[in-house]
Structure 1
Amino acid sequence: MVSPRRRSLGWWWLLLLLLLAFAGWRGWLAWQTRQADARAQIVGAEQRMALLEESLEALRRDQRSQAQRQQQADATNRVLRDELLGIGQRAALLEDNVSKLADPDRHGAQALRVDEVEMLLTAAAQRLDLASDLDGARRSYALAAGLLNGIDDPAYLSLRQTLAQERTALDAVGADPRNVAAVRLEAFAATLHALPERTAAVAPESRPWWQRAFGRIVDVRPTQGAVIVEPADRAAGLAAMQLEFTLARAALERRDADAYRAALARVDAWLTRLWPDSAERRARREKLRALKALPLTLRLPVLGSSLQQLRALRGAR
């Protein structure tokens, strides 16, 4: 039979175990609560970080768009500034032209005529310099003279005389020297095929006795300045000479006198190699030397004097 004292101790131990169990359960609940709060704080921090990153990215996009709009605005401002400068320059030119036309000492119709005369003289000079167009230059000079005759200002009297002298000198030129040289070169090239390929036969009685004796056995030819007789070599030489003619024509088109004369010198060398010495060959070489001496450009000291005098007169007035 259990004593009352042991029974009371058992109850006390049971109560203590219950208290310990309750305390452990409460501690576990508190730990779970703290863990849930910590996880919630972490999740909230991550969400706030994500929101901050989105905000920063949005700010960066706004900054980039603002920079692009600023660049576009700067470019637009530059374009507008250039347009304003251009408008200002055009306005200044218009004002200058209006002031010149409104000048009582400068009649508007006369100023326009003088401008046309200067334009025609400039066009004539460019035709001569760039294309050697003598006919076009003469027409431009004729039109300029007609306009200049319609100006009744006595200050342009000397200019009319200078223009008449320049027209006379230009009419005296005749044809373009380059065209004259080209025609004569073509005619010279066309006559080369008529040259004799062999020297005239010498009468047997006029030969020395050793040539009459051994002429049918031995053919003696000088080695220096020998003429090409082999058909293949002659064909190659003729082709080379035609190439030199082509180079001379190209030099004529460029008005390159040095290259033109050098090509004709090489043609002369081929003449001595392809055809033997004869009166016809000497005549062709004389014509070739005359061709080399031909001028290729216009040599008129008075050309351009009217334009210079007109510009000097306008600048002085």
Structure 2
Amino acid sequence: MDETIEPRLPSPATPPAQADTRVRRGSPLAVVLGLLAIGAGAYAVWRVTDLERGLAAASAAGRDDIQTRLQPLLQNDQQVQRELDALRARLADGDSVNRSLREEVLGLGERSRNLEDAIANLADQRLSSRDAIALNEAEYLLLIARQRLELFQDVPGTLAAYRLADGALAAAENPLYASTRQTIAAEIEALNAAHPGDTQSLLAALEAVRSALASWPPRPLEPATAAAADSRFARMFGAFVRVSREGVDAVASRDTTLARSLVTIDLRSAEAAVLARDADAYARALASARANIQVAFDTDSEPVRTGQDQLAKLAATALAPDLPALGTALKELRNLRATRALSQPVAPPPAPDASGAEPAAEPAEQVPAGAGT
């Protein structure tokens, strides 16, 4: 009910007698109004109490729902907190490990620098035994190469020795001998530029010609010679007496076996000249072989022409051309070794032991005889 009951208070100016009269007159209305006011107040109190109960129930339900929803969040928060604690522990361990590793790396760097300094000092003080052996081998090979070229004009053997000497110097791993290797390369290039004849290829070519000689057809007889050989007088006395004013070439032209033997001897002489590096004997032997082939064999046949061409090519090959003078690399190597030996500090004499006897001195580095220039 929205109506507001306003009780009328007695006016202070009204006499008591009049007030009592008004109360008496309006007493039923006042009772009704009072009852209505009490009912309205009770209803209002009930509604307020009901609203408060509903609000309390809704608040409790909301709190329960919120707690139900917050429980997984709280658990997740606790799990995340534990993981964060584990990550912090791991980061702390990683920091400690990194510090220890950094200290170890710094220590290793210092040790490596000390080791490099020690190795550099050892390299400056003395050559290693492997380098000494490699230098001895290189000097020996260079000496052999020069002697083979001077004594036998063996260019392939000289080149092989020079290449082995270059490999020995490369194994020494010392930049001091780089100039010597360049000198060796220059001498190898000079030998290759001379275009010497290869002994094995020349011998193989001569052997091929000598092997094919047995199948070459002989030179056909001229008609006059054939008619004289077929006459009755020649057949009667030819078995006992043969008179001729011709030379050996004419005899060889009629005797195929003798011609083959002569050519074989010439080819053998050419092989011996190749082994001896005798250019004059080599040229004479090939010229004689070609002349005998021209006289005794059919030069129109294909095998004979091939053999003649092969012999002409062999005759044009320079057996012993002008070869360069060697020995520069050997002298340079000996000079470097002598300079290196002089620059080495002299070791102090060893102190005598307790018995008073001096210990045996260490053997010095072996240098081949003839070292130095």
User: TM-score per shorter chain, which class?
Assistant: 0.3 to 0.5
Q: Which has the higher contact order (CA 8 A, sep 6+)?
A: 1
Which structure has greater helix proportion?
A: 1
Query: TM-score under structure 1 normalisation?
Result: 0.46
Task: Work out which of the two has the higher radius of gyration on C-alpha atoms and give 1 or 2.
Answer: 2
Query: TM-score under structure 2 normalisation?
Result: 0.41
